[in-house]
Amino acid sequence: SKVYFPRIMIPAAAVAAGLMDLLIASVILLGLAIYYGVSLTLNILLLPLFIVLMTLLALGLGICVSALNVKYRDIRHALPFILQTWMFMTPIIYPASVVPARFRWALALNPMTGIVEGFRAALYGRGVDLKTIAISVALTALLLVGSTYVFKRIERIVVDFI
């Protein structure tokens, strides 16, 4: 007898494992912040919002990549290069403020920009750019819905590719 297993749980489990790593690292970071006397503001209460947004983005990307990897096996080889390029296009090692104002619209099209800047705002007590965060929320929702749709379509024909 065959037991139904929702295949979408496989990328979700990978995201959940990363979330556990984040939880452990966050506890350590909070402990170090307290030890070194870093002053935290009320913006820290926004942190769960950005964690949820980041988790949903990771889930959407995981679902999309896993669905496409079934049909196009070379995606797993290209993924490290794509992720590295994406990291440099995201204001992780530089603040978004160093990007000239006329190009910030392009930076805002990266859904991680709002999330990273939101983390900075929550941790450092800075102002939150609602426009960039709204774009990140919209793009994350679009990616999650679209990738779930693609996953469900490919899930039906996955037996043909394995």
User: Please, are residues 29 and 111 in contact by the beta-carbon 8 Å criterion?
Assistant: no
User: Please, are residues 43 and 121 in contact by the beta-carbon 8 Å criterion?
Assistant: yes
**Tens digit of each residue's pLDDT (9 = 90 or more) over 9-43:** 989 999 999 999 999 999 999 999 999 998 888 99
CA atoms of 79 and 124, how far apart (whole Å): 32
124 vs 135, which has greater pLDDT?
135
Range 51-56 contact pairs with CB under 8 angstroms and sequence separation of 24 or more: 51/19, 51/22, 53/114, 53/115, 53/118, 53/133, 53/136, 53/137, 53/140, 54/112, 54/115, 55/15, 55/19, 56/140, 56/141, 56/144
φ, ψ of residue 151 in degrees (nearest 5): -60, -45
| Average pLDDT of the residues in 98-127 | 92
User: Please, are residues 128 and 140 in contact by the beta-carbon 8 Å criterion?
Assistant: no
Look at residue 6 in the predicted model and tell me its pLDDT: 84
Q: How many other C-beta atoms lie within 10 A of the C-beta of residue 139?
A: 19
For the cut 60, the answer to whether the pLDDT of residue 1 exceeds it is: no
Look at residue 38 in the predicted model and tell me its pLDDT: 87
Average pLDDT over the chain reads 91
Look at residue 159 in the predicted model and tell me its pLDDT: 59
| Helices 47-71 and 75-89: angle between axes, nearest 10 degrees | 150
Q: Domain locations in the chain? A: 9-161
Predicted TM-score (pTM) of this structure: 0.89
The model's confidence at residue 71, banded by pLDDT at 50, 70 and 90, is confident
Sequence-ordered strand ranges (E) for the chain? none
